[in-house]
């Protein structure tokens, strides 16, 4: 079901179409329509299509039958003719009937943001689980269109286009797809059960786990690579990472070494399709099993605030709340001047620092920031352990942070965070 990848020769030339439902222009935590189309253009580029035009219509509400109004459809037809576009992509998910009506009216391939994101996920999925999750999301998206959920057709109860062999074929397709869907769901469930076991094993080790989360393309994988030498693909593409990777990050401080686990996760984006959230739930929820969250933000993005808000909303939606967050403002190398850096703060975070993962700038601040966080959840103890309590001492040395240690006649004096 890939839109653009199956045939590399046949490049798509697309016009991006958006409806601007007049939200508050002074609220910088909300995407404005131009930024949203910029992002859609990046998505199209990532999927290998070339953007040849943009159409924006300001409306109070989306048109329920054709998404945009009839006047705009005429304008769009002219633009299609003039640019030789082979398709359009709308910035919002279309209902089955909107998609049908628009393609009838324009006589051209009509795609929406959801299809585009699904397509990119399909092209980037590497692991068996990732591939199955994408397939599941795609099939469910198709199924909702096949059954005509929400179309006016089923409500009309018959008529042209609802009878004949086509309908029988659809019924068969539906059955095949449903079977595959339940098979996929089953297999994905088994895989995530297996992961739970691996996690349980990790729990015992008591190494603190930090999940690296953030908007797509902010530099999460670059950060993990810089800190641990992991060789994860990091590129200027949206959703380069679809599988989670965990690596040990070990650093030294005067009081000894500290090990933590860092997990790279799938990036978030606004209007992440619901099919995808459901299918990728176990992958997206990876952060749920972490002790702490590292929130990576692209400090150089003009939509920084809106992106941060999307990340926190998505975390809330996934039920990942109440975890302590530290925020890394990344790509600081792209920000010139102190003024710009002044605005970098995150009220939801315990602490925040500025870094450049790519240029390895500011990374030396990371251990201190992590220590501070770990210490907050640890208790400072100070006492003498008798020589018959050596196992306790080695336990503290392994999992805690020893500040002072002194051999005395009556035992070992220990001052430590545990």
Residues that bind ligand GTP (CB under 6 A): 214, 216-222, 234-241, 267, 330-331, 333-334, 356-358
Residue with the CB atom nearest ligand GTP in the bound state: 267
How far apart, in Å, do the first and last CA atoms of the chain sit?
A: 53
For tokens 């010139």, the residue is 336
Decide which of ligand GTP, Mg ion, none touches 358; Cβ closer than 5 to 8 Å per partner kind. Answer: ligand GTP
Decide which of ligand GTP, Mg ion, none touches 142; Cβ closer than 5 to 8 Å per partner kind. Answer: none
Decide which of Mg ion, ligand GTP, none touches 275; Cβ closer than 5 to 8 Å per partner kind. Answer: none
Decide which of Mg ion, ligand GTP, none touches 333; Cβ closer than 5 to 8 Å per partner kind. Answer: ligand GTP
Nearer to ligand GTP, 36 or 330 (CB): 330
Parallel, antiparallel or unpaired: strands 380-385 and 411-417 = antiparallel
User: Whose CA is closest to 15, among 59, 76, 73, 96?
Assistant: 76
Q: Please give the distance of CA 218 from its chain centroid, rounded to a whole number.
A: 11
Nearer to Mg ion, 95 or 221 (CB): 221
Nearer to ligand GTP, 117 or 261 (CB): 117
Decide which of ligand GTP, Mg ion, none touches 228; Cβ closer than 5 to 8 Å per partner kind. Answer: none
Closest distance to ligand GTP from the beta carbon of 268 (Å): 8
Nearer to ligand GTP, 264 or 401 (CB): 264
Task: Label residues 59-84 b or e (16+ Cβ within 10 Å = b).
Answer: eeebbeebbbeeebbeebeebbeeee
Contact between 287 and 293 under an 8 Å Cβ cutoff? The reply is yes
Closest distance to ligand GTP from the beta carbon of 134 (Å): 15
Nearer to ligand GTP, 118 or 396 (CB): 118
Closest distance to Mg ion from the beta carbon of 325 (Å): 19
User: Whose CA is closest to 222, among 262, 251, 260, 258?
Assistant: 262
Nearer to ligand GTP, 66 or 217 (CB): 217
Closest distance to Mg ion from the beta carbon of 221 (Å): 3
Taking the CB of residue 214, how many other CB atoms lie within 10 A of it?
25
Closest distance to ligand GTP from the beta carbon of 359 (Å): 6
Decide which of Mg ion, ligand GTP, none touches 270; Cβ closer than 5 to 8 Å per partner kind. Answer: none
Closest distance to Mg ion from the beta carbon of 196 (Å): 24
Four-point Cα dihedral 265, 271, 272, 274, nearest 10: 140
Residue with the CB atom nearest Mg ion in the bound state: 241
Decide which of ligand GTP, Mg ion, none touches 235; Cβ closer than 5 to 8 Å per partner kind. Answer: ligand GTP
Closest distance to ligand GTP from the beta carbon of 32 (Å): 22
Closest distance to ligand GTP from the beta carbon of 285 (Å): 16
Nearer to Mg ion, 96 or 214 (CB): 214
Nearer to Mg ion, 221 or 282 (CB): 221
Give the footprint of Mg ion on this chain (CB under 5 A).
Answer: 220-221, 240-241
Nearer to ligand GTP, 261 or 357 (CB): 357
User: Whose CA is closest to 36, among 60, 58, 19, 59?
Assistant: 19
Decide which of Mg ion, ligand GTP, none touches 330; Cβ closer than 5 to 8 Å per partner kind. Answer: ligand GTP
Decide which of ligand GTP, Mg ion, none touches 219; Cβ closer than 5 to 8 Å per partner kind. Answer: ligand GTP
Closest distance to Mg ion from the beta carbon of 120 (Å): 13
């Amino acid at each position: 079901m890939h839109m653009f990848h199956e045939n590399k020769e046949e490049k798509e030339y697309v016009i991006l179409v958006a409806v601007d439902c007049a939200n508050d222009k002074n609220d910088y935590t909300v995407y404005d329509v131009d930024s949203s189309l910029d992002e859609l253009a990046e998505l199209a580029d990532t999927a290998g299509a070339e953007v040849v035009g943009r159409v924006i219509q300001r409306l109070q509400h989306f048109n329920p039958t054709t998404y945009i109004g009839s006047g705009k459809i005429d304008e769009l037809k002219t633009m299609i003719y003039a640019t030789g576009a082979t398709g359009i992509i709308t910035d919002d998910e279309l209902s089955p009937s909107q998609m049908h009506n628009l393609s009838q009216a324009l006589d051209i391939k009509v795609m929406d943001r959801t299809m585009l994101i699904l397509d990119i996920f399909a092209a980037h999925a590497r692991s068996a689980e990732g591939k199955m999750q994408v397939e599941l999301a795609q099939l469910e998206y198709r199924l909702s269109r096949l059954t005509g959920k929400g179309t006016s057709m089923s409500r009309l109860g018959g008529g042209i286009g609802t009878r004949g062999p086509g309908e029988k074929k659809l019924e068969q397709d539906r059955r095949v797809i449903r079977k595959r869907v339940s098979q996929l769901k089953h297999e994905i469930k088994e895989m995530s059960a297996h992961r739970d076991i691996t996690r349980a094993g990790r729990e015992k080790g008591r190494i603190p786990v930090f999940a690296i989360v953030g908007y797509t393309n902010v530099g999460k994988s670059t950060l993990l690579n810089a800190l641990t030498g992991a060789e994860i693909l990091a590129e200027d593409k949206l959703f380069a990472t679809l599988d989670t990777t965990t690596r040990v990050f070990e650093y030294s401080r005067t009081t000894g070494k500290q090990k933590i686990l860092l997990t790279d996760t799938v990036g978030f984006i606004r209007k992440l399709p619901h099919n995808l959230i459901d299918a990728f739930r176990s992958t997206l929820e990876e952060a749920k099993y972490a002790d702490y969250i590292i929130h990576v933000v692209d400090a150089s993005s003009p939509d920084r605030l809106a992106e941060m808000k999307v990340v926190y909303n998505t975390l809330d939606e996934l039920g990942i709340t109440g975890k302590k967050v530290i925020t890394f403002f990344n790509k600081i190398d792209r920000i010139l001047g102190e003024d710009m850096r002044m605005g970098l703060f995150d009220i939801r975070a315990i602490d925040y620092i500025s870094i450049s993962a790519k240029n390895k700038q500011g990374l030396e601040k990371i251990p201190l920031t992590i220590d501070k966080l770990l210490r907050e959840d640890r208790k400072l103890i100070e006492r003498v352990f008798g020589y018959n309590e050596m196992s306790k001492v080695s336990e503290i040395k392994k999992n805690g942070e020893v500040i002072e240690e002194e051999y005395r006649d009556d035992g070992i004096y220990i001052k430590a965070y545990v």
